[in-house]
Structure 1
Amino acid sequence: MRTFGTYIVELLAANGVELVFGIPGVHTVELYRGLQNAGLRHITSRHEQGAGFMADGYARVSGKPGVCFIISGPGLTNIATAMGQAYCDSIPMLVISSVSAVGAMGSGAGHLHELPDQRQLMRQVSAFSHTVLHMDEFELALARAFAIFASARPRPVHIEIPVDLLGCDSTSLGIARHLETPAAPGVAMEAAAAATELLTNAARPVIVAGGGAKRASVPIRRLAEALDAPVLMTVNGRGILPPGHALAVPIIPARAPALELLSKSDVILAIGTEIGPTDFKNKLLERTNFPGKLIRIDLDAEQAMRGMSPDLAIVADATEAAEQISMLIAPSDVGGSGKARAAAARAAMAAVVTPKEKACLHLLAALRHGAKNTIIVGDSNQPVYAGCTAFGTDEPGRFFCSATGYGTLGYALPAAIGAKLAAPDRPVICVIGDGGLQFTLPEMATASEIGCPIIMIVWRNNGYGEIKRHMENAGVEPIGVDLFTPDFQKLAQAFDWHGEVLAGADAVEERLAAARMRGKPSLIEIVEASYV
């Protein structure tokens, strides 16, 4: 007999899934029956939140959905935070969970792992949540999920299966097959022509590129060069133009130099960005602060009309839209001031960074330059905040973090594990604070168990340094921010990691080179007081 749980695994494999993250439980054992025969690798996290963050990091680097097997009840409440982060950053994630048996769901009788309504919880952090009550529903639910991942705004999807259904005979379902997905929406020629007219008549155009445009870097570069338009990159859009490009502006839009660039432009082309408050100051969302025209390109029709209403909205795939518009614009249409405006914005930003931000940017630059194609995964901490402010990367997806949008702590360690699994031949560096690390510290064991040689930079200030600063600036006596800090070197030894303390800024690249040669996870502790 082939159980329904085995069929689910076979269907995932038939649709390109290679890895599954999770923690086996009594309600999901049938999902594990067919894993080995289907050729899927399972990564056991130490907490379901860690599994979700690993799936997130894997998805960002591979471009494929991160898949998780999660038990009902506490498994779902544990992974909800990771799903919330992925939801806010538009990351494809598939969470397959168990649920109480048919007839027992929501009974209140006290069944193991029972919640009154799991789907109601999951709806808050997913594109949709579906309960499979009949085996033949699963293929359709999975097709819906992969359609969203391929052609709409890619957010987490939750599919739950009653525990009694997982063990049923699924022979009647036939052979698992590959599911065809629709193409992402294209741009109408009329819309492309309207955008082209606005852009070619602009004297001071600016392109704002967000995370939704990170796979459109080639046509965006071509478009920017044809228009001589600065490209202002949000945090998730960094690398769409490399730091050395004359039109690159890797500055968070909330800072004054970026706001000035935007407010003095006559046309903004916003591609794949929410224009959200964590990247932009709220005042920019008021059109009175921006007298120019706004063109928005987004996969999500609703998002195209949120935050800042456009003069022209185009619902389309970022790559196709940028390609279509760039084909209609000749370099002879160029106004000629873009490179100077981009340089002025970068110079203005360099003039206002604080000494601490400068030190943190120096650290991130050392991580970037240490080896080709390095991926930096950030948590919410001071070096990463500085990176969000003004750090550029050579390619999209080389720097990502949890410090914007949902803004969870503890993200970077498990997300770096997922990133390394997606790109085993590329160096992956996690940058995390001593406070944030304690949220997901047990995932160090996962890295050792699977032989995942990431490098973890631990920024130690013995507490929640940024929150303490905010308290002090607000005239609030700091409470709850000065933490007991464990001995991370002993923890590194306990988890079979290499551990060391960096005493100053000069030896970073040398220590990174040594860490890359070890072939095992490395923890490099940086004491803020000795570095800044």
Structure 2
Amino acid sequence: MTCAELLLRLLRDRYGIDTLFGIPGVHTVELYRGLSHSGVRHVTPRHEQGAGFMADGYARATGKPGVCLIITGPGMTNITTAMGQALADSVPMLVISSVNRRDTLGRGQGRLHELESQSNLVGNVARFSHTLLDPDGLPEVLARAFAIFQGARPGPVHIEIPIDLFDAPVTPPTHWPAPQLHPAAPDPAGLDVAAEWLHAAERPLVLLGGGCVAAPEAARELVTRLDAPTATTVNAKGLLGDAHPLDLGATTGLPAVRELAREADVILAVGTELGETDYDVVFDDGFTLNGRLIRIDVDAQQLVRNQSLALGLVSDAARALEGLLSRVPDTLARDGVVRATAARKALALHQEPLLAPFVPLCATLREALPDAVWVGDSTAPAYAANHLLSLPAPRRFFNASTGYGTLGYGLPAALGAQLGKPEQPVIGLVGDGGVMFSLAELATAVEERLPVVILLWHNHGYEEIRRYMDEHGVERLGVDIQAPDFQTLAQGFGCAATRVSSPAELGQALRERPPQAPYLVEIDAAAWCRQLELPPPAAQEAP
């Protein structure tokens, strides 16, 4: 067996990988020998950044690592942005790349795709980067990667294989099943203290992040027993189910929820960074916790970041939630539902002028596609849905507005989600500015016959940056950009497309969407607002 053959066998038979994302190159051809008959699906994006975003969307929708095959040099520089987004949001991603021959590494000889050190290049966007120098060490290196995915804080892992090792002979393992790996459990004494504080609290608050998505039942039951208002981050949306009376959603940047946070005497934060893009989206450092903070995270370092800690437990979120449940056997009464209801009423999200165009948009999409997975770029509809949307389950909503905040994420990540969840509809929320970063992936969607609904909010430029320039007295430059004819472009790719300007037209278009093919639905923002008798988007008006 060769090293390349062993890699494919380990991924498929030991770790259950059924989908690979990659663009073949002369340096990775040996990785493709036998792949077409292996039973593993290979998807060819049109750019390595698209490969990374597809793997990211696949991983978030399924909970399984997304795996990419990437060529030396430019392939690696192209995928690093996608790795940065996955690292910021703790998404399991395995990037396997080629690298030049062992005898040429670091010698600067001007060889094809040569970088002085690929490993150094990706070191800041990976949990670790390893150069395989001994082909018989491949099983151990892969085991390290999957140990990160299963038992630590996930993120991208990079393994590079010199091109002279792909056809090197290796000794296959005698046993193919993967080892059983159980994540960290919380210290019982620490759980006892946490439960004691939560029992004694008069105004508790719970903050749940993406680290909890594997344990929705335990999270929902614990919140109910604690009778505590609960904020769920963007990556935890749907964790408590649809319209749970204690769920405040992803609204911790808004005044009413910030007031609850300031008044809380005990705060339980599980699986959340307490980071800026979830808790301070207005960027004024105004999210303040004055009570005793209990934090639970699989990463010990994260426990002491961003907020002052009173009690920290290093643990997998699911095991900690179950441990707390066993110590809170009865439902406590602290007027939690009353406090949460009052906060939601004070938020008045459906009356917020900036959100008004998106209230009927979200409602129409929910009615037409109630079981959909929502995947967003950094775009106005995604920002609004962060606040407005309530969903019945986790892993059905994610976007690039958190963490790294890259543009171009929405379209390829939606394709990855659709590949991972073929039985569910997928909605990709994109803007006319951001989609141009990755528009070529429409070809991938058509080629793979993925029935993704690509909702394109066309506000003729970079609206958020325009507004920011206007508010800060900076003359607009570089934000009123020329847009192509997206209908013609989509048709050129072989993708069905339409343009709508009202909720009724949107609903009709969704009912008529093609069954086994992508569908681009373009909404002109100004026309949409006119139909709703709303002011046009402020950012499109002259300052």
Cα deviation digits, residues 462-514 of structure 1 (max 9, x gap): 11011111001110111000111111111111111111001222332332222
Q: State which drifts further: 175-184 or 18-27.
A: 175-184
Partner of 2:181: 182
Give how far 1:181 is off: 4.4
In the alignment, structure 1 residue 232 sits paired with structure 2 residue 231:
yes
Q: State which drifts further: 205-214 or 273-282.
A: 273-282
In the alignment, structure 1 residue 526 sits paired with structure 2 residue 523:
yes
Give how far 1:34 is off: 2.6
Partner of 1:11: 10
Cα deviation digits, residues 119-143 of structure 1 (max 9, x gap): 0111111100000001111111100
Within 5 A, what are the aligned runs for 1:89-488? Answer: 89-170=89-170, 172-174=171-173, 177-281=176-280, 289-332=288-331, 334-350=332-348, 354-488=352-486
In 2, Cα distance between equivalents of 1:195 and 1:508: 49
**Secondary structure of residue in 2 paired with 1:51:** helix
In 1, Cα distance between equivalents of 2:5 and 2:434: 38
RMSD: 1.6
Partner of 1:506: 504
Matched-pair contact (CA < 8 Å) for 2:195–2:324: yes
Matched-pair contact (CA < 8 Å) for 1:130–1:159: yes
Cα deviation digits, residues 341-376 of structure 1 (max 9, x gap): 111111121168632312223312322232232111
In 2, Cα distance between equivalents of 1:392 and 1:426: 17
* TM-score between the two structures when normalised by the length of structure 1: 0.96
1:531 maps to a residue whose letter is W
Partner of 2:74: 74
1:468 maps to a residue whose letter is R
Q: State which drifts further: 518-527 or 352-361.
A: 352-361
* TM-score between the two structures when normalised by the length of structure 2: 0.94
Partner of 1:57: 57
In 2, Cα distance between equivalents of 1:344 and 1:352: 15
**Secondary structure of residue in 2 paired with 1:314:** strand
1:360 maps to a residue whose letter is F
In 2, Cα distance between equivalents of 1:162 and 1:126: 19
In 2, Cα distance between equivalents of 1:91 and 1:446: 22
**Secondary structure of residue in 2 paired with 1:302:** helix
What are the ranges of 5 or more consecutive residues in structure 1 without an aligned counterpart? none
Matched-pair contact (CA < 8 Å) for 1:11–1:176: no
Q: State which drifts further: 196-205 or 274-283.
A: 274-283
**Secondary structure of residue in 1 paired with 2:160:** strand
In 2, Cα distance between equivalents of 1:180 and 1:361: 48
Give how far 1:308 is off: 1.1
Matched-pair contact (CA < 8 Å) for 2:94–2:145: yes
Give how far 1:387 is off: 1.8
1:138 maps to a residue whose letter is L
Give how far 1:285 is off: 7.9
Identity of matched residues, %: 46
1:449 maps to a residue whose letter is E
Matched-pair contact (CA < 8 Å) for 2:62–2:395: no
1:128 maps to a residue whose letter is F
Within 5 A, what are the aligned runs for 1:20-31? Answer: 20-31=20-31
Cα deviation digits, residues 408-431 of structure 1 (max 9, x gap): 001011101110011101000100
In 2, Cα distance between equivalents of 1:435 and 1:317: 38
**Secondary structure of residue in 2 paired with 1:165:** coil
Matched-pair contact (CA < 8 Å) for 1:373–1:426: yes
Matched-pair contact (CA < 8 Å) for 2:364–2:503: no
Matched-pair contact (CA < 8 Å) for 2:243–2:391: no
Give how far 1:147 is off: 0.5
In 2, Cα distance between equivalents of 1:9 and 1:268: 46
**Secondary structure of residue in 2 paired with 1:524:** strand
Partner of 1:36: 36
What is the number of residues matched between the two proteins?
526
Matched-pair contact (CA < 8 Å) for 1:251–1:258: no
2:156 maps to a residue whose letter is P
Distance 1:426 1:216, change over 3 A: same
